Chains A and B, each alone.
Chain A
C-alpha cells in the first residue's frame, strides 16, 4: 500500500485547511491487475468537502488515472455510487466531516462487475429495470384521446410517489445480500420499480408485471434484510415495495 501526499500546487479545496484525512482508494484494472490494491492519498478537507470532491482533488493533483463516474454532484444523476467506509453511498452526497474517521476508504460497489477502480458496470441493473416495463401501460393515452387528463387523488399518488424518486444509482442492489450470491435475482431496484407502476392507478399492466416477477429468481428470493432501504439516498423503501408486491401475488391486495 503506497501513500501519496498532496503536491505544493494549489488545491481545489482550500489550502488553508488544517484538517487532512487519508483517502484510501481501491485501484483495479481488470485488463492488467489480478486483484484490487488500495492506494492512500493525504488530502485536506473542509466541513463541506464531499468524498467526491476529495476524489476529484486526488485525480486533479495526485493521480490522474483514478477512474470515477460522476455527473451532477447533487445526488440527482445516480452516477457516483461507491462503497465509502464499507457502506454503499453516493460520493457527492457524503461529507467527509460526517464520517468521523481519519481514514476514508472508497471501493467500487459490491455485486457489480468492475470496469475500473471505482467504476462498475450497470448493464444488468438496467436490463432488469427495463424488464419491469417502467412505463404506464394502457390502451388509451392522454395525448391521443380528446377526453381528459388521467387525474389522481393525493391518496392515489401517495401509493407510489416515493418510488418515483429512484435515481437508479444502484446502491440498493449493492447492499442486497441475495444479489451477492444469486446472479439471476432481479434485485430491489427493479422490484421497487415494478411496485411503482403496479401501484399507479393509471397503469393497466399489473398482470404482465406480476408474471415477470413471479419467477424462481424473482420477488420470492428477497429475504427482507432491508439493507436496500437503509442505503437509499433518496428515501425510497424497496423492501416495503417488495412486501406490498407479494401481497398482490398472495391475494391480499387487489
Chain B
C-alpha cells in the first residue's frame, strides 16, 4: 500500500475517532451521572444496546488502526533496516488485529449476556 494511502487512513481514522469519542463522552454526560459511567451495570447496559455497541466497536477499530500506524511510524523513524522495517510493519498489523479481535470479543460477549 502506498504511504499516502496509509496516511489518508491515518488522518481519517483520527478525525472519525474524535467525532465518535465526542459522541461517547456526550452520552456519558447527558444520559447519566458521569461518575457512574464505569459502574458494572452501566457498562453492560451500553454493550447490550446494539447501536451503542456498534459505535464502541467502531471506536475500537479506529483507535487501533490509528494508534498502531502511529507506533509503526515512530519505530520506523527510530531505526532503519530492511528486516527491521518489515518486522515493525507486520508486528504492528498483528498487534492491531489482536487488539481489535480481543476488544470485539469483549463487546460481543457482553452484548450477548455471556458475562
Contacts and interface: CB of A to CB of B under 8 A. Distances in A.
A204 B47 CA distance: 55
B2 A214 contact: yes
A250 to B, nearest CB: 7
B3 A181 contact: no
B77 A221 contact: yes
B76 A250 contact: no
Contact of B4 (A181, A217, A221, A250): A250
Contacts of B77: 178, 181-182, 185, 221
Contacts of A183: 80
Contacts, number: 30
A216 B8 contact: no
State the main secondary structure of chain B at its contact with A.
helix
Interface string B79-111: 010000100000000000000000000000000
B23 interface: no
A1 B11 CA distance: 51
B71 interface: no
Interface residues of A, number: 15
Contact of B7 (A181, A182, A217, A220): A220
B73 interface: yes
Contacts of A182: 76-77, 80
A220 B80 contact: no
* Interface-centre pick from B7, B8, B78 (highest chain A CB count, 10 A): B7
Interface in B8-27: 8
Contacts of A216: 3, 76, 85
A215 interface: yes
Interface in A205-254: 214-218, 220-221, 249-250
A218 B80 contact: no
A184 interface: yes
Contacts of A185: 77
B8 A250 contact: yes
A57 to B, nearest CB: 41
Contacts of B78: 181
Nearest to A185: B77
